Amino acid sequence: MRLTAITAAFALTATAAFAADKTLDIGVSDALTGGGAVYGLPQANAVNLAAKEINASGGIKVGDDTYMLKVIAYDDKANPTEASNAVRKLIDRDGVKYILGFCCSGATGAVASFIENEDAVMLVGNAAERSITTREIPNLTRTRPPADYTGAAAGTFVAEKGHKRVAVLGALDVGFYASYVDAFEKELNKAGGEIVSREAFGLKDRDMSPQLTKIRGQDPDAILVVGYVEPAAFIYRQAVELGIDVPRYGFTSGSEEQFLRVATSEQMEGVWDLRPTELTLLSASENGKAYHANYSAEFGIAPSPSSPYAYDQTYALKDAIEAAGTVEDTQAVAVALRELSVPDEVVMQYLPVDEKMFDVNGQAYTSNGAFQWQSGNWVFIQDLPSDAAAYSAFLSTID
Protein backbone atom coordinates (compact mmCIF):
# COMPACT_ATOMS: atom_id res chain seq x y z
CA MET A 1 0.00 0.00 0.00
CA ARG A 2 1.23 3.47 -0.69
CA LEU A 3 0.09 7.03 -0.72
CA THR A 4 0.21 8.13 -4.31
CA ALA A 5 2.50 10.97 -5.20
CA ILE A 6 -0.34 12.52 -7.15
CA THR A 7 -2.35 12.81 -3.96
CA ALA A 8 0.36 14.75 -2.23
CA ALA A 9 0.60 17.15 -5.16
CA PHE A 10 -3.13 17.82 -5.08
CA ALA A 11 -3.09 18.39 -1.37
CA LEU A 12 -0.30 20.94 -1.65
CA THR A 13 -1.87 23.05 -4.39
CA ALA A 14 -5.26 22.93 -2.70
CA THR A 15 -4.14 24.08 0.72
CA ALA A 16 -1.76 26.68 -0.64
CA ALA A 17 -4.49 28.39 -2.66
CA PHE A 18 -7.15 28.44 0.04
CA ALA A 19 -5.24 28.55 3.27
CA ALA A 20 -8.24 29.69 5.26
CA ASP A 21 -10.51 26.84 4.15
CA LYS A 22 -11.03 23.62 6.01
CA THR A 23 -9.86 20.32 4.61
CA LEU A 24 -12.02 17.25 4.20
CA ASP A 25 -10.09 14.01 3.81
CA ILE A 26 -11.70 11.50 1.52
CA GLY A 27 -10.31 7.99 1.13
CA VAL A 28 -9.82 5.75 -1.87
CA SER A 29 -9.37 2.01 -1.60
CA ASP A 30 -8.66 0.57 -5.01
CA ALA A 31 -6.41 -1.74 -7.00
CA LEU A 32 -3.46 0.46 -7.91
CA THR A 33 -1.25 -2.49 -8.79
CA GLY A 34 -1.83 -6.07 -9.91
CA GLY A 35 -4.46 -7.54 -12.22
CA GLY A 36 -7.25 -5.21 -11.07
CA ALA A 37 -5.20 -2.07 -11.65
CA VAL A 38 -6.56 -1.69 -15.20
CA TYR A 39 -9.82 -0.68 -13.49
CA GLY A 40 -8.59 0.58 -10.12
CA LEU A 41 -5.84 2.97 -11.06
CA PRO A 42 -8.02 5.00 -13.47
CA GLN A 43 -10.69 5.16 -10.76
CA ALA A 44 -8.23 6.57 -8.25
CA ASN A 45 -7.13 9.09 -10.86
CA ALA A 46 -10.75 10.00 -11.54
CA VAL A 47 -11.40 10.74 -7.86
CA ASN A 48 -8.30 12.91 -7.78
CA LEU A 49 -9.44 14.74 -10.90
CA ALA A 50 -12.93 15.37 -9.50
CA ALA A 51 -11.47 16.55 -6.18
CA LYS A 52 -9.18 18.96 -7.98
CA GLU A 53 -12.08 20.34 -10.01
CA ILE A 54 -14.29 20.67 -6.94
CA ASN A 55 -11.53 22.49 -5.06
CA ALA A 56 -10.87 24.76 -8.03
CA SER A 57 -14.53 25.75 -8.21
CA GLY A 58 -14.73 26.64 -4.55
CA GLY A 59 -14.86 23.36 -2.67
CA ILE A 60 -17.79 21.87 -0.77
CA LYS A 61 -19.95 24.40 1.04
CA VAL A 62 -21.45 23.37 4.33
CA GLY A 63 -23.15 26.28 6.11
CA ASP A 64 -20.50 28.97 6.39
CA ASP A 65 -17.62 26.59 5.97
CA THR A 66 -15.90 25.64 2.77
CA TYR A 67 -14.12 22.34 2.60
CA MET A 68 -11.27 21.55 0.25
CA LEU A 69 -10.98 17.87 -0.59
CA LYS A 70 -7.82 15.95 0.08
CA VAL A 71 -7.60 12.42 -1.33
CA ILE A 72 -5.83 9.63 0.52
CA ALA A 73 -5.50 6.60 -1.74
CA TYR A 74 -4.37 3.12 -0.72
CA ASP A 75 -3.65 0.16 -2.94
CA ASP A 76 -5.91 -2.78 -2.10
CA LYS A 77 -4.60 -4.92 -5.02
CA ALA A 78 -8.22 -6.07 -5.57
CA ASN A 79 -7.58 -8.38 -2.64
CA PRO A 80 -10.22 -8.75 0.12
CA THR A 81 -7.70 -8.78 2.97
CA GLU A 82 -5.73 -5.83 1.62
CA ALA A 83 -8.96 -3.89 1.07
CA SER A 84 -10.17 -4.54 4.61
CA ASN A 85 -6.82 -3.36 5.94
CA ALA A 86 -6.84 -0.30 3.71
CA VAL A 87 -10.31 0.74 4.85
CA ARG A 88 -9.48 0.09 8.52
CA LYS A 89 -6.42 2.26 8.14
CA LEU A 90 -8.42 5.02 6.45
CA ILE A 91 -11.07 5.02 9.19
CA ASP A 92 -8.93 4.35 12.26
CA ARG A 93 -5.68 6.09 11.50
CA ASP A 94 -6.52 8.77 8.94
CA GLY A 95 -9.95 9.56 10.43
CA VAL A 96 -11.61 9.41 7.02
CA LYS A 97 -15.42 9.17 6.84
CA TYR A 98 -15.99 8.95 3.08
CA ILE A 99 -14.40 6.15 1.11
CA LEU A 100 -14.54 5.89 -2.65
CA GLY A 101 -13.03 3.73 -5.36
CA PHE A 102 -13.71 -0.03 -5.23
CA CYS A 103 -13.23 -1.43 -8.70
CA CYS A 104 -13.29 -5.11 -7.95
CA SER A 105 -15.98 -7.30 -6.47
CA GLY A 106 -14.02 -9.55 -4.11
CA ALA A 107 -12.31 -6.70 -2.31
CA THR A 108 -15.50 -4.62 -2.29
CA GLY A 109 -17.59 -7.45 -0.88
CA ALA A 110 -15.17 -7.84 2.02
CA VAL A 111 -15.39 -4.17 2.94
CA ALA A 112 -19.17 -4.08 2.41
CA SER A 113 -19.52 -6.85 4.99
CA PHE A 114 -18.42 -4.59 7.84
CA ILE A 115 -18.99 -1.02 6.66
CA GLU A 116 -22.55 -0.89 8.07
CA ASN A 117 -21.11 -0.77 11.61
CA GLU A 118 -18.71 2.07 10.84
CA ASP A 119 -19.17 5.82 11.09
CA ALA A 120 -18.42 6.13 7.39
CA VAL A 121 -19.99 6.19 3.94
CA MET A 122 -18.83 3.80 1.24
CA LEU A 123 -19.23 4.68 -2.43
CA VAL A 124 -18.63 1.71 -4.73
CA GLY A 125 -17.48 2.21 -8.30
CA ASN A 126 -16.83 -0.44 -10.91
CA ALA A 127 -17.39 -3.58 -8.81
CA ALA A 128 -20.21 -5.46 -10.54
CA GLU A 129 -21.13 -8.32 -8.18
CA ARG A 130 -24.87 -8.08 -7.56
CA SER A 131 -24.83 -9.00 -3.86
CA ILE A 132 -23.04 -5.76 -2.94
CA THR A 133 -26.35 -3.87 -3.17
CA THR A 134 -28.76 -6.64 -2.18
CA ARG A 135 -27.94 -6.36 1.52
CA GLU A 136 -29.57 -2.92 1.84
CA ILE A 137 -26.56 -1.45 3.61
CA PRO A 138 -27.72 2.12 4.42
CA ASN A 139 -24.28 3.75 4.19
CA LEU A 140 -23.29 2.16 0.86
CA THR A 141 -24.11 3.25 -2.67
CA ARG A 142 -22.87 2.04 -6.02
CA THR A 143 -22.63 3.88 -9.33
CA ARG A 144 -22.14 0.82 -11.52
CA PRO A 145 -25.18 -1.35 -12.16
CA PRO A 146 -24.89 -5.08 -11.35
CA ALA A 147 -23.67 -7.38 -14.07
CA ASP A 148 -26.93 -9.26 -14.53
CA TYR A 149 -28.83 -6.02 -15.18
CA THR A 150 -26.57 -5.60 -18.18
CA GLY A 151 -26.51 -9.32 -19.00
CA ALA A 152 -30.27 -9.43 -19.42
CA ALA A 153 -30.19 -6.46 -21.77
CA ALA A 154 -27.36 -8.09 -23.72
CA GLY A 155 -29.29 -11.38 -24.01
CA THR A 156 -32.29 -9.56 -25.45
CA PHE A 157 -30.07 -7.71 -27.90
CA VAL A 158 -28.27 -10.83 -29.16
CA ALA A 159 -31.57 -12.68 -29.48
CA GLU A 160 -32.96 -9.78 -31.51
CA LYS A 161 -29.97 -10.16 -33.83
CA GLY A 162 -31.38 -13.58 -34.65
CA HIS A 163 -28.68 -15.75 -33.06
CA LYS A 164 -29.92 -19.11 -31.83
CA ARG A 165 -26.77 -20.98 -30.86
CA VAL A 166 -24.38 -18.96 -28.74
CA ALA A 167 -21.12 -20.29 -27.34
CA VAL A 168 -19.88 -18.67 -24.13
CA LEU A 169 -16.25 -18.31 -23.11
CA GLY A 170 -15.96 -16.58 -19.78
CA ALA A 171 -14.22 -16.07 -16.48
CA LEU A 172 -17.03 -18.13 -15.03
CA ASP A 173 -15.39 -18.68 -11.66
CA VAL A 174 -16.00 -14.97 -11.01
CA GLY A 175 -19.50 -14.49 -9.59
CA PHE A 176 -20.63 -11.42 -11.46
CA TYR A 177 -19.45 -12.69 -14.83
CA ALA A 178 -21.38 -15.91 -14.22
CA SER A 179 -24.47 -13.89 -13.25
CA TYR A 180 -24.16 -11.83 -16.45
CA VAL A 181 -24.14 -15.06 -18.44
CA ASP A 182 -27.09 -16.46 -16.46
CA ALA A 183 -29.18 -13.36 -17.10
CA PHE A 184 -28.07 -13.38 -20.73
CA GLU A 185 -29.11 -17.01 -21.10
CA LYS A 186 -32.53 -16.40 -19.58
CA GLU A 187 -33.35 -13.73 -22.15
CA LEU A 188 -31.84 -15.76 -24.98
CA ASN A 189 -33.91 -18.80 -24.02
CA LYS A 190 -37.08 -16.69 -23.96
CA ALA A 191 -36.43 -15.87 -27.60
CA GLY A 192 -35.88 -19.53 -28.46
CA GLY A 193 -32.09 -19.45 -28.48
CA GLU A 194 -29.66 -21.49 -26.42
CA ILE A 195 -26.17 -21.44 -25.07
CA VAL A 196 -24.42 -24.38 -26.74
CA SER A 197 -21.34 -24.42 -24.57
CA ARG A 198 -19.86 -22.69 -21.55
CA GLU A 199 -16.09 -22.68 -21.57
CA ALA A 200 -14.10 -21.17 -18.74
CA PHE A 201 -10.74 -19.50 -18.42
CA GLY A 202 -8.75 -18.19 -15.47
CA LEU A 203 -7.56 -14.66 -14.80
CA LYS A 204 -3.98 -15.58 -15.71
CA ASP A 205 -4.77 -17.67 -18.78
CA ARG A 206 -3.56 -16.18 -22.04
CA ASP A 207 -3.93 -19.15 -24.36
CA MET A 208 -7.58 -19.84 -24.97
CA SER A 209 -7.12 -21.65 -28.29
CA PRO A 210 -8.05 -25.04 -26.82
CA GLN A 211 -11.40 -23.68 -25.63
CA LEU A 212 -11.92 -21.81 -28.90
CA THR A 213 -11.07 -24.89 -30.94
CA LYS A 214 -13.75 -26.78 -29.02
CA ILE A 215 -16.22 -23.96 -29.63
CA ARG A 216 -15.30 -23.91 -33.32
CA GLY A 217 -16.19 -27.61 -33.48
CA GLN A 218 -19.70 -26.84 -32.16
CA ASP A 219 -20.37 -24.46 -35.01
CA PRO A 220 -22.21 -21.72 -33.07
CA ASP A 221 -24.00 -18.68 -34.59
CA ALA A 222 -22.17 -16.31 -32.28
CA ILE A 223 -19.76 -16.30 -29.37
CA LEU A 224 -19.99 -14.36 -26.14
CA VAL A 225 -16.80 -13.46 -24.29
CA VAL A 226 -17.23 -12.47 -20.67
CA GLY A 227 -14.21 -11.51 -18.60
CA TYR A 228 -11.38 -9.12 -17.86
CA VAL A 229 -9.92 -7.11 -20.70
CA GLU A 230 -6.54 -8.78 -20.92
CA PRO A 231 -7.62 -12.41 -21.39
CA ALA A 232 -10.60 -11.23 -23.48
CA ALA A 233 -8.27 -9.45 -25.90
CA PHE A 234 -6.38 -12.71 -26.40
CA ILE A 235 -9.65 -14.54 -27.02
CA TYR A 236 -10.65 -12.13 -29.78
CA ARG A 237 -7.21 -12.45 -31.37
CA GLN A 238 -7.08 -16.23 -31.10
CA ALA A 239 -10.63 -16.56 -32.43
CA VAL A 240 -9.45 -14.89 -35.64
CA GLU A 241 -6.33 -17.03 -35.68
CA LEU A 242 -8.51 -20.12 -35.49
CA GLY A 243 -10.64 -18.89 -38.38
CA ILE A 244 -13.80 -18.39 -36.32
CA ASP A 245 -15.85 -15.92 -38.34
CA VAL A 246 -19.16 -15.74 -36.46
CA PRO A 247 -20.11 -12.48 -34.68
CA ARG A 248 -18.21 -11.96 -31.43
CA TYR A 249 -20.05 -10.36 -28.53
CA GLY A 250 -18.47 -9.51 -25.24
CA PHE A 251 -18.70 -7.94 -21.82
CA THR A 252 -15.29 -6.56 -21.02
CA SER A 253 -15.39 -2.73 -20.83
CA GLY A 254 -11.83 -2.33 -22.09
CA SER A 255 -10.46 0.74 -23.79
CA GLU A 256 -9.13 0.75 -27.35
CA GLU A 257 -5.60 1.06 -26.02
CA GLN A 258 -5.98 -1.96 -23.75
CA PHE A 259 -7.15 -4.15 -26.62
CA LEU A 260 -4.59 -2.88 -29.10
CA ARG A 261 -1.74 -3.95 -26.83
CA VAL A 262 -2.77 -7.54 -27.52
CA ALA A 263 -4.68 -7.67 -30.79
CA THR A 264 -4.52 -5.72 -34.01
CA SER A 265 -7.37 -3.49 -35.02
CA GLU A 266 -8.13 -5.89 -37.89
CA GLN A 267 -8.42 -8.77 -35.44
CA MET A 268 -10.83 -6.69 -33.33
CA GLU A 269 -12.92 -5.47 -36.26
CA GLY A 270 -16.62 -6.07 -35.73
CA VAL A 271 -16.40 -7.19 -32.10
CA TRP A 272 -19.37 -6.07 -29.97
CA ASP A 273 -19.13 -4.99 -26.38
CA LEU A 274 -22.47 -5.11 -24.55
CA ARG A 275 -22.06 -3.18 -21.36
CA PRO A 276 -23.13 -0.21 -19.32
CA THR A 277 -22.84 2.76 -21.65
CA GLU A 278 -19.92 4.18 -19.71
CA LEU A 279 -17.47 6.42 -21.47
CA THR A 280 -16.73 6.41 -25.14
CA LEU A 281 -16.17 9.58 -27.06
CA LEU A 282 -18.86 8.83 -29.58
CA SER A 283 -21.59 8.26 -27.04
CA ALA A 284 -20.33 10.84 -24.60
CA SER A 285 -22.22 13.87 -23.46
CA GLU A 286 -20.51 17.25 -23.18
CA ASN A 287 -19.50 16.21 -19.65
CA GLY A 288 -17.98 13.05 -21.01
CA LYS A 289 -15.94 14.88 -23.61
CA ALA A 290 -14.68 17.36 -21.04
CA TYR A 291 -13.84 14.54 -18.67
CA HIS A 292 -11.90 12.74 -21.38
CA ALA A 293 -9.95 15.90 -22.23
CA ASN A 294 -9.21 16.89 -18.64
CA TYR A 295 -8.24 13.37 -17.61
CA SER A 296 -5.95 12.96 -20.60
CA ALA A 297 -4.30 16.31 -19.89
CA GLU A 298 -3.85 15.52 -16.22
CA PHE A 299 -2.52 11.97 -16.44
CA GLY A 300 -1.11 11.79 -19.96
CA ILE A 301 -3.24 8.77 -20.84
CA ALA A 302 -6.84 8.34 -21.94
CA PRO A 303 -9.32 7.44 -19.20
CA SER A 304 -10.61 3.88 -19.09
CA PRO A 305 -14.31 3.59 -19.98
CA SER A 306 -15.33 2.62 -16.46
CA SER A 307 -13.31 5.25 -14.60
CA PRO A 308 -16.19 7.81 -14.51
CA TYR A 309 -17.99 5.59 -11.96
CA ALA A 310 -15.46 6.95 -9.49
CA TYR A 311 -15.56 10.47 -10.87
CA ASP A 312 -19.35 10.52 -10.51
CA GLN A 313 -19.09 9.14 -6.95
CA THR A 314 -17.13 12.20 -5.97
CA TYR A 315 -19.76 14.63 -7.29
CA ALA A 316 -22.56 12.58 -5.75
CA LEU A 317 -20.73 12.81 -2.44
CA LYS A 318 -20.29 16.56 -2.81
CA ASP A 319 -23.99 17.11 -3.50
CA ALA A 320 -25.00 14.80 -0.66
CA ILE A 321 -22.77 16.56 1.87
CA GLU A 322 -24.09 19.93 0.77
CA ALA A 323 -27.68 18.67 0.94
CA ALA A 324 -27.13 17.17 4.38
CA GLY A 325 -25.36 20.33 5.55
CA THR A 326 -22.77 18.40 7.53
CA VAL A 327 -19.47 16.60 7.05
CA GLU A 328 -19.59 15.05 10.51
CA ASP A 329 -22.91 13.22 10.46
CA THR A 330 -22.30 10.35 8.08
CA GLN A 331 -25.78 9.00 8.64
CA ALA A 332 -27.31 12.21 7.33
CA VAL A 333 -24.98 12.16 4.32
CA ALA A 334 -25.91 8.53 3.62
CA VAL A 335 -29.61 9.43 3.72
CA ALA A 336 -28.98 12.41 1.46
CA LEU A 337 -27.23 10.16 -1.08
CA ARG A 338 -30.35 7.99 -1.34
CA GLU A 339 -32.46 11.12 -1.93
CA LEU A 340 -30.10 12.67 -4.47
CA SER A 341 -31.10 13.56 -7.98
CA VAL A 342 -28.46 12.98 -10.60
CA PRO A 343 -25.76 15.69 -10.25
CA ASP A 344 -25.15 17.96 -13.23
CA GLU A 345 -21.46 17.16 -13.47
CA VAL A 346 -21.67 13.37 -13.86
CA VAL A 347 -20.23 11.65 -16.92
CA MET A 348 -22.23 8.43 -17.08
CA GLN A 349 -25.80 8.47 -18.34
CA TYR A 350 -27.82 7.41 -15.33
CA LEU A 351 -31.38 6.20 -15.57
CA PRO A 352 -32.93 7.58 -12.38
CA VAL A 353 -35.44 5.46 -10.47
CA ASP A 354 -38.19 7.61 -8.99
CA GLU A 355 -36.11 10.59 -10.18
CA LYS A 356 -33.32 9.64 -7.83
CA MET A 357 -29.77 8.68 -8.78
CA PHE A 358 -29.64 5.78 -6.28
CA ASP A 359 -32.60 3.49 -5.58
CA VAL A 360 -33.57 2.23 -2.12
CA ASN A 361 -30.82 -0.34 -2.34
CA GLY A 362 -28.23 2.36 -2.96
CA GLN A 363 -27.90 1.22 -6.55
CA ALA A 364 -27.59 3.51 -9.55
CA TYR A 365 -28.46 2.44 -13.08
CA THR A 366 -26.86 3.59 -16.26
CA SER A 367 -28.06 2.94 -19.72
CA ASN A 368 -26.56 -0.10 -21.37
CA GLY A 369 -25.10 0.21 -24.78
CA ALA A 370 -24.03 -1.89 -27.73
CA PHE A 371 -20.59 -0.80 -28.88
CA GLN A 372 -18.83 -2.15 -31.89
CA TRP A 373 -15.16 -2.08 -32.83
CA GLN A 374 -14.90 -0.24 -36.11
CA SER A 375 -11.54 0.73 -37.60
CA GLY A 376 -9.69 1.05 -34.34
CA ASN A 377 -12.42 2.51 -32.14
CA TRP A 378 -15.34 1.45 -30.02
CA VAL A 379 -18.33 2.97 -31.75
CA PHE A 380 -21.61 3.40 -29.91
CA ILE A 381 -24.27 1.74 -32.05
CA GLN A 382 -27.40 1.76 -29.93
CA ASP A 383 -28.83 1.55 -26.44
CA LEU A 384 -29.55 -1.92 -25.17
CA PRO A 385 -33.13 -2.52 -24.09
CA SER A 386 -32.69 -1.84 -20.34
CA ASP A 387 -35.39 -1.44 -17.69
CA ALA A 388 -33.95 0.21 -14.58
CA ALA A 389 -37.19 0.43 -12.62
CA ALA A 390 -38.06 -3.22 -13.17
CA TYR A 391 -34.56 -4.33 -12.26
CA SER A 392 -34.59 -2.14 -9.16
CA ALA A 393 -37.81 -3.80 -8.02
CA PHE A 394 -36.26 -7.21 -8.70
CA LEU A 395 -33.12 -6.26 -6.77
CA SER A 396 -35.23 -5.33 -3.75
CA THR A 397 -36.68 -8.84 -3.66
CA ILE A 398 -33.26 -10.45 -3.24
CA ASP A 399 -31.75 -10.92 0.19
Query: Which residues contribute to the site for other proteins (CB under 8 A)?
Result: 33-35, 37-38, 172-173, 199-201, 204, 206-207, 209-211, 213-214, 216-217, 230, 234, 240-243, 261-262, 264, 266-267
Nearer to other proteins, 23 or 209 (CB): 209
Distance between CA atoms of 347 and 47, rounded to whole angstroms? 13
Write the DSSP symbol of residue 262. Answer: T
Give least dist CB 368 to other proteins, A. 28
Give least dist CB 268 to other proteins, A. 11
Nearer to other proteins, 34 or 247 (CB): 34
Distance between CA atoms of 399 and 141, rounded to whole angstroms? 16
Nearer to other proteins, 11 or 171 (CB): 171
> DSSP letters of 271-334?
-EEEEE----TTT--HHHHHHHHHHHHHHSSPPPTTTHHHHHHHHHHHHHHHHHT-SS-HHHHH
Distance between CA atoms of 206 and 224, rounded to whole angstroms? 17
Inter-residue contact 286 to 384 (CB < 8 Å): no
Give least dist CB 74 to other proteins, A. 16
Give least dist CB 248 to other proteins, A. 16
Inter-residue contact 220 to 196 (CB < 8 Å): yes
Give least dist CB 258 to other proteins, A. 10
Nearer to other proteins, 206 or 289 (CB): 206
Nearer to other proteins, 37 or 87 (CB): 37
Nearer to other proteins, 101 or 288 (CB): 101
Q: In what order do the strands lie in the sheet with 272-276?
A: 194-200, 165-170, 222-226, 248-251, 272-276, 368-374, 377-383
- 396: buried, middle or exposed (CB in 10 Å: 19+, 13-18, 0-12)? middle
Distance between CA atoms of 60 and 119, rounded to whole angstroms? 20
Give least dist CB 385 to other proteins, A. 31
Nearer to other proteins, 73 or 172 (CB): 172
Nearer to other proteins, 242 or 360 (CB): 242
> DSSP letters of 176-211?
HHHHHHHHHHHHHHHTT-EEEEEEE--TT----HHH
Give least dist CB 168 to other proteins, A. 11
Give least dist CB 85 to other proteins, A. 19
